[in-house]
């Protein structure tokens, strides 16, 4: 689940960076916000002494 979230985030980030660079070159305003990764599932707890 976490890997799928990260892959989707990195794809969105690549699109955002390309659009951001284009708007900087054309001296325009960036109209969409930077994508956010969001919460990921935490790792399973390690068994420890009880």
| Residues 13, 17, 19, 23, CA torsion sign | positive
Question: How high is the pLDDT of residue 50?
Answer: 66
CA distances from 28 to 15, 20, 31, 36, 42 (A): 17, 9, 9, 22, 39
Q: What is the pTM of this model?
A: 0.67
Question: How high is the pLDDT of residue 46?
Answer: 81
pLDDT one digit per residue (tens) for the chain, 50 residues:
788 889 999 999 999 999 999 999 999 887 788 888 888 788 777 887 76
Question: How high is the pLDDT of residue 13?
Answer: 94
How do residues 15-27 score in pLDDT, each as one tens digit? 999 999 999 999 9
Residue from 50, 31, 39, 34 nearest 5 by CA: 39
């Amino acid at each position: 689940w976490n890997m799928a979230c990260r892959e989707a985030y990195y794809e969105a980030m690549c699109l955002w960076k390309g659009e951001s660079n284009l708007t900087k070159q054309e001296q325009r305003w960036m109209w969409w916000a930077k994508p956010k990764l969001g919460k990921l599932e935490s790792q399973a707890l390690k068994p420890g002494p009880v």
